[in-house]
């Protein structure tokens, strides 16, 4: 059929059609970031043991932290014995098992989610010392999102990154990271070299997704190159508790924190004295964050905030806290979808934020759908995700997302 169409079109039109089809095949979401071996353990009363000594993880519940930040958390450090400076990863490696191994990493998770909605490529590093685990990682990326890994690297002498995912009784989690190959990249000048692998990977990209489980300069180089090519940059701020890199801020189109991440990158609390997220506080934090971006020369940054059971909110380029009705036109609120688990509660929230963001990017930038429609699709995907244990294995296929998205949105009551 395709051959007949080409013959009937004539030579010039046929050439144009082939070129357009070739371009369509090249269009894809690019995720530059991390991939991890995930090691799961359910905590006992919110604690896990390090070399037999229990440590309460409640102070970092809901957070994803590199080993150094975990050890430096005051309410954690007070429970540890001895000087751990410079030995943070070695300490985390003493965590007592048993563990259940699965596939994850914020970059790989987001790629798998985006790949369920639109074509996606993952660019990141695995370690040659983790050969057996890498086979499972590549297999899962292909299975859960048909994600291309042709330009991903396997680094000699390095282990693949590892994430310890520690589940609480309510199925929320705390995540501790050991960087491994995720932290080993070429120098910045090499990354940004014209015609280099990163420059080549950005050709034909509808959006590039970044997160912070890789060195900060990798994100800066990628964002700067992407914006130079007119490619939107979508930033997940998870993976560390470090401040946002000011060199990165001018190049970001959308910054996408959850409510706790919004607090530490804006400096403004999003919860009241009872620990409840409140919309006026979220708006105040967004206003403070956008003021920081404006000072960095980027006043039009969009902010997409995920709020767990309270849904999500998007603040557009023209939004201002003083805008009244006019500003309201630039603020979009989306609720959530009910769960089909026996008790109506999440089974595992690991990767749910990655699922939401990857699904949003695939729908908005890949399929070119409006913001509200992309948020609804992402909310449906995240609802399906929390019903399945594991990070990447919980990324739902598009048919499942569509079925959930056809149901009624809940949780739109004011807060």
Predicted confidence (pLDDT) per residue in 153-196, tens digit: 999 999 999 989 999 998 889 999 989 999 999 999 999 998 88
Q: How far apart are CA 137 and CA 146, in angstroms?
A: 12
Q: How far apart are CA 378 and CA 209, in angstroms?
A: 15
* Nearest residue to 120 (alpha-carbon basis) of 100, 150, 90, 97: 150
* Nearest residue to 228 (alpha-carbon basis) of 197, 211, 251: 251
Rounded to 5 degrees, what are φ and ψ at 69? Answer: -70, -35
Q: Is the pLDDT of residue 248 over 90?
A: yes
Q: Is the pLDDT of residue 6 over 50?
A: no
The chain-wide mean pLDDT, for the chain, equals 89
Q: Is the pLDDT of residue 353 over 70?
A: yes
Q: Which residues contact 225 (CB under 8 A, 6 or more apart)?
A: 192, 198, 199, 202
Per-residue pLDDT of 294-323, as tens digits, reads 999 999 999 999 999 899 999 999 999 886
Q: Which residues contact 227 (CB under 8 A, 6 or more apart)?
A: 233, 251
Q: Which residues contact 254 (CB under 8 A, 6 or more apart)?
A: 232, 233, 234, 235, 301, 302, 303, 304
Radius of gyration of the chain from its Cα atoms, rounded to whole angstroms = 21
Work out the average pLDDT over 346-356: 91
Work out the average pLDDT over 285-292: 97
In what order do the strands lie in the sheet containing 233-235?
120-123, 28-32, 205-210, 233-235, 254-255, 302-306, 312-315, 331-334
- Three-state SS sequence of 217-257: HHHHHHHHHHHHCCCCEEECCCCCCCCCCCCCHHHCCEECC
Q: Which helix (H) or strand (E) holds 197?
A: helix 197-201
CB 172: neighbour CB atoms within 10 A? 15
pTM: 0.86
* Nearest residue to 293 (alpha-carbon basis) of 336, 325, 247: 247
Instruction: Report the alpha-carbon angle 406-407-409, nearest 5.
Output: 115
Residue 166, beta-bridge partner list: 41, 174
- Please state which CATH number belongs to domain 27-253+335-410: 3.40.1190.20
Work out the average pLDDT over 37-50: 92
Q: Which helix (H) or strand (E) holds 168?
A: none
Q: How far apart are CA 306 and CA 62, in angstroms?
A: 13
* Nearest residue to 183 (alpha-carbon basis) of 232, 125, 234, 237: 125
Q: Which helix (H) or strand (E) holds 348?
A: none
Token pair of 256, please?
Answer: 């996408």
Work out the average pLDDT over 80-86: 75
Residue 327 CB-half CA count within 13 A: 9
What string of DSSP letters covers 4-70?
HHHHHH-HHHHHHHHHHHHHHHH-EEEEES--EEEEEEE-BTTEEEETTEEEE-GGGTT-EEEHHHH
Q: Is the pLDDT of residue 84 over 80?
A: no
């Amino acid at each position: 059929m395709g051959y007949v169409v080409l013959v009937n079109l004539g030579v010039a039109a046929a050439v144009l059609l082939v070129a357009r089809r070739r371009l369509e095949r090249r269009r894809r979401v690019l995720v530059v970031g991390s991939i991890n071996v995930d090691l799961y353990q359910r905590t006992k009363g919110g604690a896990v043991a390090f070399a037999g000594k229990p440590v309460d993880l409640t102070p970092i519940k809901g957070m994803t932290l590199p080993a150094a930040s975990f050890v430096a958390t005051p309410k954690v450090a007070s429970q540890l014995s001895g000087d751990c400076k410079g030995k943070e990863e070695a300490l985390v490696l003493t965590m007592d098992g048993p563990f259940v191994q699965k596939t994850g990493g914020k970059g790989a998770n987001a790629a798998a989610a985006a790949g369920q909605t639109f074509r996606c490529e993952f660019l990141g590093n695995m370690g040659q010392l983790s050969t057996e685990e890498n086979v499972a990682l590549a297999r899962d990326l292909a299975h859960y999102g048909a994600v291309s890994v042709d330009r991903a690297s396997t680094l000699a002498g390095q282990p693949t990154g590892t994430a310890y995912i520690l589940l609480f009784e309510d199925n929320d989690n705390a995540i501790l990271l050991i960087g491994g190959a995720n932290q080993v990249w070429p120098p910045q000048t090499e990354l940004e070299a014209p015609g280099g692998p990163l420059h080549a990977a950005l050709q034909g990209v509808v959006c590039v997704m970044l997160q912070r489980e890789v060195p900060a300069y990798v994100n800066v180089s990628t964002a700067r190159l992407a914006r130079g090519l007119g490619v939107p940059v979508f930033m997940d701020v998870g993976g560390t508790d470090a401040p946002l890199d000011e060199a990165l801020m001018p190049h970001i189109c959308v910054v996408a924190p959850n409510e706790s991440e919004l607090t530490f990158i804006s400096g403004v609390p999003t919860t009241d004295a009872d620990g409840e997220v409140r919309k006026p506080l979220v708006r105040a934090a967004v206003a403070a964050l956008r003021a920081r971006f404006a000072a960095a020369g980027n006043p039009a940054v969009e902010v997409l905030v995920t709020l767990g059971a309270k849904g999500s909110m998007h603040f557009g380029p023209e939004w201002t806290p003083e805008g009244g009705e006019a500003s309201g036109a630039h603020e979009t609120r989306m609720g959530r979808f009910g769960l089909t688990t026996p008790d109506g509660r999440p089974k595992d929230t690991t990767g749910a934020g990655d699922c939401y963001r990857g699904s949003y990017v695939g729908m908005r930038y890949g399929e070119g759908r409006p913001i509200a429609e992309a948020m609804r699709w992402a909310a449906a995907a995240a609802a399906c995700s929390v019903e399945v244990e594991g990070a990447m294995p919980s990324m739902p296929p598009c048919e499942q997302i569509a079925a959930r998205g056809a149901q009624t949105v809940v949780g739109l009551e004011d807060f």
